[in-house]
Structure 1
Amino acid sequence: MNARSSGRPSLADIAAEAGVSTSQASRILSRHPGLRAKPETQERVRAVAERLGYQPHRGARALRMSRVGTIGLVVHDVTNPIHAEIIRGAQGALTEQGHALLLADAEELARNPDTFTEILGPGRMDGLIWHASGESYDAAMITRAAATMPTLLINSTSQVGVPALHLDDTGAARLAVDHLIGLGHRRIGFLGGAPHSDLTRRRYAGYLDALQQHGVPNDDRLVCSDAWDADSGGRQMAELLSLAEPPTAVFVANIIVATGALAAARSRGVSVPTELSMITLHDAWFAALASPAITTVRLPLRELGRQSVTRIQQLASESAAADAPATRTTMINDPAPYLVPRDTTEPPKPRSPRHTR
């Protein structure tokens, strides 16, 4: 074996020597209740561990011995209907197991660091799921959490060494813009969320992909980003409508931003979709009730919640964290994003040369 010549052997060393995966070696050595390995495999792994003098990682052992059956989920704005779907998925998965979900608002925790410290204390949670939105306080708080317990990012790619799980935002954005181009639009605006958000970048990438695939020129004057709220949508829409040549259609990065954008268009006397088509991501319950009903691309938010529970429990059980790679990003693309056509999109109408907003 090419074992380490210095320092204690790792779980990966044991797994390699015994010819099993790191996760299986972890389950065997911790006598995991769901263990299904053959007796001879278990005996081989334990023999290798004894021969090499393997000692389990203290943090992982402590975690296994202190399970409380509660997973934490931190989101930015618990009243957001997008987050509500994620919460329902996570809670449903935990309820099926007889476990509990501890829900917290990120902004409140950022304003009350002592409360965050208390939540991270021993015996409170088995792991933490953090819904990343690109806020300025995200990185520091995620780093604090990851130093204390298994932590998973959702809605993000991996950052500060913490694994992540996200949806196919790029594919969803591409699908939305494909729909607009298919209707005949060529001057298409982009209304984003927080400018430095990983999520805004992924959706903008999908917007650009669609333009490039169809040979539609990209005009930077049609691209805005601000924040993930309705007021932001209003500001961005006002900016685009003030252009000498405004867009004939807009792709809006999410349904909350879209509600503000739709209101801003209406307040300026711009008819949607007659003068301006609009499509957005996330098919929240009120999209069909808006006037006009909003065309959306639906993403599997509830599935994101369910799979985040599965992933954080894997991190907790295998935790070891010391031996397992921690920076992997996983994308959920099953079920795939799909178009929900409604009343805010239609082919563009010819414009008068003197047309102004």
Structure 2
Amino acid sequence: MKLTNYQLFWLLFSMESGMTVMLVISPTFQAARQGSPLAALLAGGAALLATFVAAKLSLLYPNDTFVEYVPKIIGRWLGKTVVFAYLLLWIAVTGIVLREYGDFVHMALFDKTPLWVILLLMLLVIVYAVDGGIQIVGRCSEVIGPIIVFNVILFRLLSLKDLHVDRLLPLMPAGGLMPVLSGITPAASFMCESVMIVMLIAFVGNKRKTVASGLWGVGLAALVLLNTVMDTIMMLGSSVPAKLQYPVYSLSQYISVMEFVQNLDIFLVVGMSFTVFVKLGLYLFITSHGTAQLFRIKKRRRLLGIVAALVLAVALFPRNVDESQVNFPHFWKTVAYPVFLFGIPLLLWTIGSVRSRMNRADKPSAS
């Protein structure tokens, strides 16, 4: 199973863009209001930093996955404990992402269809793709990524007549810098999921351009987020988006060109379904493959069905939208984001770099 740097670029861009744009616009405006564009810009910077740290960490052991090299850095038992915690987190977030997607599609298109049917059908498609290996998801992203870019450009062109540039000012809200800083967290916590690159670099053939590919993929997704936040504030102002559950979906229904080009929300739903497919495919792969490596199971496919069943159970567990889109995101922002997406990778990179330098220093003396 091999990935190209081109596929890695589109993988990271595709998995970052869809759910982030759909779910973080409202909480960003709730916190930052008029400073939301600045908050989105800084969130993109935080995501680039997290991606850089994760990529540099993986390149210390370029042929090993996260499951294999963490015990080499901090010891066998502690390393396996950290890896097991990450696997549990990845299973949980896969289930919640699936549920958030199901809630959106259920609301937008299929309100008469049982929710579990939407979740199960999407999961079966993803399992079928992941069963063929990570390269299948990578090839799909090469098609899906450009489609997303086309959709973004299309929406921007069709919404030009409704944009009020004066609504972008002032860039800094009346409350000063603190609202902007609090508005960074919702978007950054989603975009820093690019840290999953710690499980992907081992499958990339040419490691020399891996860091650049990862940063470009996340950077383009950050630009899409910034563009969406700017469009939102120019069309709806800074107060209305904070009151909407899916502001971008509302924008897609708002666009009308000569009363002929309308109902563009279907393009948004299809585009989001594509990005969720890539995101869940990546999570399902790294979780099943990582679990197989941790427990020394040679055939990853044996675990794929078990992991998929656990993901479906997690997706069905929340009783309502508040539990899936309020309670879990609160845990994600306050615990997973600072600890698992930033803290632990940075600590592992620091320890691994020191140990690598010590080993290189000991080699001449040993000879």
Q: TM-score, structure 1 length as denominator?
A: 0.28
Which has the larger share of strand?
1
Larger radius of gyration: 1
Name whichever structure is richer in helix by fraction.
Answer: 2
| Higher RCO (CA 8 Å, separation ≥ 6 residues) | 2
